[in-house]
Amino acid sequence: MAKISESTIKKAIIAIEAGRAKHPEAPPLKLAEDPKLRKIRKDRDKLFVEFLQSAGLDMRKVAALGEQHDTQLGRLVDKYRTDAGRRSRKKGTHYLSVMGQCKTLVAASDDTNSVSIVKPFLIWATPRSNILSDSQYADSDSWAKFKVSSSGYETHKVSFYFLWSNPFGNGVVIDPLTFLIATGYIEADADRGYLPNVSNATATAQFYLWQWWDQSQAPILSASEQIWHVDAVGEYFQTGTTGKYLAAGLRLGAGQFFVPRYSTAVFEVAVSVDFYSNTGTAYADFESSNYNVTCPVVAFPVLQTPF
């Protein structure tokens, strides 16, 4: 089988990911964006306010208290967000523990019975590549910085792609694993409402295998683990905000795969951020201060087969 160049695979992945983002296999049900549901919600809120006013509730006093609440909430969240940035360390405990394990794996690799791939050939983001503000390709220290927000239903993904070609004249069974280090901040902000408004954000680590010997060239989701999830509810005339500082080191195992002789496999390690807001905004910051996402290695044992 002819060897495929990295540049060819890189172009193909970018094109495939763009197509999948534009035409997802399982598009989400975006109820919050439906204009009829929005109008019903607006009319319902109007009736609720009219009822409260007719019952004698002083809406101006309620609104003033809501403003006071939102001002104090904003101060507290701003302080927490600032303190989180100051607390972030480029090489905190979670970073050092993962790197220690990676160093051991790399030292044990002999490229025959075990393999360690220490640098990706591509770092990319979908559906918009321009959310990547910076990135580094380096042995056991490749990272990406990005910040993204949404006021609706969206998913953004930043991926590290690693390449390996089976050099043997027979098929092999591999059992790949990887590590992901995520340092950042996620926040959900729900707008003030008469009845509840919701906003949430979820960051998830994912590990895919691309079978490049297969004509479909589609990734198989092999492992995923939630990094963190935040919810916010705005109700009773006040906004809602929830923020979380993240400092996590994760190990993801893909399970066993068969790679035919002289065939190429692509490993994708990703952070996916899912947003939902009916009226509000959520965002994820892996860019500020010492924030970033690091993927140091993909490693696996190699078991040769007679076929």
Are 245 and 182 in contact, with CB atoms under 8 Å apart? no
C-alpha R_g of the chain: 23
Are 202 and 181 in contact, with CB atoms under 8 Å apart? no
Domain of residue 121 covers: 6-304
As a whole number of angstroms, the distance between CA 145 and CA 129 comes to: 12
Q: What is the mean pLDDT of residues 120-135?
A: 94
- The structural domain count of the chain equals 1
In-domain check, residue 62: yes
In-domain check, residue 1: no
In-domain check, residue 133: yes
Q: What pLDDT was estimated at residue 143?
A: 97
In-domain check, residue 128: yes
In-domain check, residue 45: yes
CA nearest 128: which of 27, 14, 282, 204? 14
Q: Indicate the range of 79-83, 163-167, 212-216 predicted with least confidence.
A: 212-216
As a whole number of angstroms, the distance between CA 126 and CA 224 comes to: 18
In-domain check, residue 157: yes
29 pLDDT band, cuts 50/70/90, is low
Q: Residue by residue, what is the 3-state secondary structure of the chain?
A: CCCCCHHHHHHHHHHHHHHHHHCCCCCCCCHHHCHHHHHHHHHHHHHHHHHHHHCCCCHHHHHHHHHHHHHHHHHHHHHHHHHHHHHCCCCCHHHHHHHHHHHHHHHHCCCCCEEEECCCCEEEEECCHHHEEEEECCCCCEEEEEEEEECCCEEEEEEEEEEEECCCCCCEEECCEEEEEEEEEEEEEECCCCCCEEEEEEEEEEEEEEECCCCCCCEEEEEEEEEEEEEEEEECCECEEEEEEEEEEEEEECCCEEECCCCEEEEEEEEEEEEEECCEEEEEEECCCCCEEEECCEEEEEEECCC
Are 228 and 246 in contact, with CB atoms under 8 Å apart? yes
CA nearest 299: which of 26, 40, 105? 105
Residue 277 has pLDDT above 90, yes or no: no
The pLDDT tens digits for 262-272 are: 999 999 999 99
In-domain check, residue 192: yes
Which is more confident, 220 or 158? Answer: 158
Whole-number average pLDDT of the chain: 88
Are 178 and 268 in contact, with CB atoms under 8 Å apart? no
**Which two structure tokens, joined as six digits, stand for 247?**
């400092």
179 pLDDT band, cuts 50/70/90, is very high
The pLDDT tens digits for 2-22 are: 567 888 888 989 888 888 777
Q: What pLDDT was estimated at residue 252?
A: 95
As a whole number of angstroms, the distance between CA 146 and CA 200 comes to: 18
Are 199 and 189 in contact, with CB atoms under 8 Å apart? yes
31 pLDDT band, cuts 50/70/90, is low
In-domain check, residue 228: yes
The pLDDT tens digits for 180-219 are: 999 999 999 998 877 788 899 999 999 999 988 877 677 8
95-99: list long-range contacts, CB under 8 Å, 24+ apart.
Answer: 95/181, 95/183, 95/249, 95/294, 97/249, 98/179, 98/181, 98/249, 98/251, 98/296, 99/140, 99/296
Residue 282 has pLDDT above 60, yes or no: yes
- pTM assigned to the model: 0.88
Q: What pLDDT was estimated at residue 90?
A: 65
